[in-house]
């Protein structure tokens, strides 16, 4: 089994209500899991948000906690609800209503990776699926919820920035419409998961770095933003999708020649994002 359910890094002193998270960047693939899969070791990583955790590693130095998944997305998807079980993959499960994520093979235990490529040759038992959820899903979300509760208690608000990466081809439709290709897509469930002023500040941080930003299309946010975003209660959640081509060779899932420059850019962006959750008095003192 993957060794950890999650990795949580704390700042020496918590100075912001922002919590950074990366639920899809884990790369601890057990050999038995790889042997069981019909995919090779590169293809099975195609739905992984490779290196996003590295781009977030300065968050604790900025006064914000950082939580990252310990188990890979192909093994369990932490951006799905624990009840999003796929009857096409898991024995003894019945489909209740229509869930397009589950129907496409992207439930809490994924049936496929990118481009719909099947992970397994057969089905999993319900007991195995439940064990993964109990061992990895619940501990991760319990830890995430605790960090958000602490932020709210300390600052009167909690801001979750849930960080992901997207395939370069995901934005091809934007080019077909004649617009500029977005480098970043922010998802706030069309205003339901975060206050407009917070989303605007997140957008501005990326734009100041020279990146083109879009909102909610094609990624508006999934379970995490839906579950944790309650702006009327001072709890905000924004999903951030970053074009993998900015820093990675997607075919090889390896850093490209721009990796270090992009990493440096992200350090500056993260500093601005952390500032969003700082008390006004503290921000003025720093200036």
Q: Which residues pair with 160 in a beta bridge?
A: 19, 237
Q: CATH number, domain at 67?
A: 3.40.630.40
Answer whether residue 256 is part of any domain. yes
DSSP state of 180: P
Q: Which residues have CB under 8 Å from 105's CB, separation 6+? A: 86, 88, 89, 111, 112, 116, 118
What confidence tens digit (pLDDT) does each residue in 179-203 have? 789 999 999 999 999 999 999 999 9
Give the phi and the psi of residue 61 in degrees, each rounded to 5. -70, -15
Using CB atoms within 10 A of its CB, is residue 164 exposed (0-12), middle (13-18) or buried (19+)? buried
User: By residue range, what is the domain housing residue 151?
Assistant: 6-76+139-286
Where is pLDDT greater, at 56 or 172? 56
Annotate 26-75 with DSSP letters as a single string: -----HHHHHHSSS-TTGGGTTS-TTHHHHTTTGGGGT--EEEESS-TTT
With a cut of 50, say whether residue 230 has pLDDT above it: yes
Annotate 255-273 with DSSP letters as a single string: E-TTHHHHHHHHHHHHHHH
Q: Which two tokens stand for residue 282?
A: 């503290």
State how far the Cα of 106 lies from the Cα of 78, in Å rounded to an integer: 11
What confidence tens digit (pLDDT) does each residue in 2-50 have? 999 999 999 999 999 999 999 999 999 999 999 999 999 999 999 999 9
Answer whether residue 67 is part of any domain. yes
Q: CA nearest 242: which of 211, 264, 268, 220?
A: 211
> How many distinct structural domains can be found in the chain?
1
Answer whether residue 197 is part of any domain. yes
With a cut of 80, say whether residue 178 has pLDDT above it: no
Answer whether residue 100 is part of any domain. no
Answer whether residue 84 is part of any domain. no
With a cut of 90, say whether residue 94 has pLDDT above it: no
Answer whether residue 114 is part of any domain. no
pLDDT of residue 95: 78
Answer whether residue 93 is part of any domain. no
Task: Provide the H-helix boundaries in 90-230.
Answer: 100-103, 126-132, 138-155, 172-176, 196-208, 223-228
- pTM listed for this prediction: 0.95
Answer whether residue 262 is part of any domain. yes
What confidence tens digit (pLDDT) does each residue in 247-263 have? 999 999 999 999 999 99
Whether omega for the bond prior to residue 218 falls within 30 degrees of 0, making it cis, is yes
Q: What is the rounded end-to-end Cα distance, in angstroms, of the chain? A: 47
Q: Which residues have CB under 8 Å from 244's CB, separation 6+? A: 50, 165, 166, 167, 168, 250
């Amino acid at each position: 089994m993957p060794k950890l359910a999650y990795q949580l890094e704390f700042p020496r002193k918590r100075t912001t209500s922002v919590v950074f998270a990366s639920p899809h960047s884990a790369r601890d693939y057990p050999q038995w899991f790889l042997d069981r899969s019909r995919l090779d070791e590169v293809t099975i990583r195609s739905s992984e948000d490779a290196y996003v955790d590295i781009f977030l590693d300065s968050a604790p130095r900025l006064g914000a906690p950082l939580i990252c998944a310990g188990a890979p997305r192909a093994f369990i998807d932490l951006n799905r609800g624990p009840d999003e079980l796929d009857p096409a993959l898991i024995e003894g499960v019945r489909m209740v209503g229509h869930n397009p994520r589950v129907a496409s093979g992207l439930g809490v235990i994924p049936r496929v990776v990118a481009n719909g490529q099947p992970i397994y040759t057969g089905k999993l038992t319900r007991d195995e699926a439940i064990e993964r959820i109990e061992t990895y899903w619940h501990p991760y979300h319990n830890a995430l919820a605790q960090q958000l509760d602490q932020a709210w208690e300390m600052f009167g608000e909690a801001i979750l920035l849930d960080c992901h990466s997207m395939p370069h081809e995901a934005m091809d439709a934007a080019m077909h419409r004649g617009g500029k290709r977005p480098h970043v897509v922010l998802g706030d469930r069309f205003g339901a998961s975060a206050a407009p002023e917070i989303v605007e500040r997140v957008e501005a941080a990326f734009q100041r770095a020279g990146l083109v930003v879009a909102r909610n299309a094609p990624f508006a946010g999934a379970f995490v933003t839906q579950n944790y975003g309650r702006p009327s209660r001072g709890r905000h959640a924004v999903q951030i999708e970053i074009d993998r081509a900015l820093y990675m060779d997607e075919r090889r899932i390896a850093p490209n020649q721009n990796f270090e420059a992009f990493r440096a850019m992200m350090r500056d962006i993260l500093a601005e994002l952390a500032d969003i959750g700082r008390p006004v008095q503290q921000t003025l003192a720093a200036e």
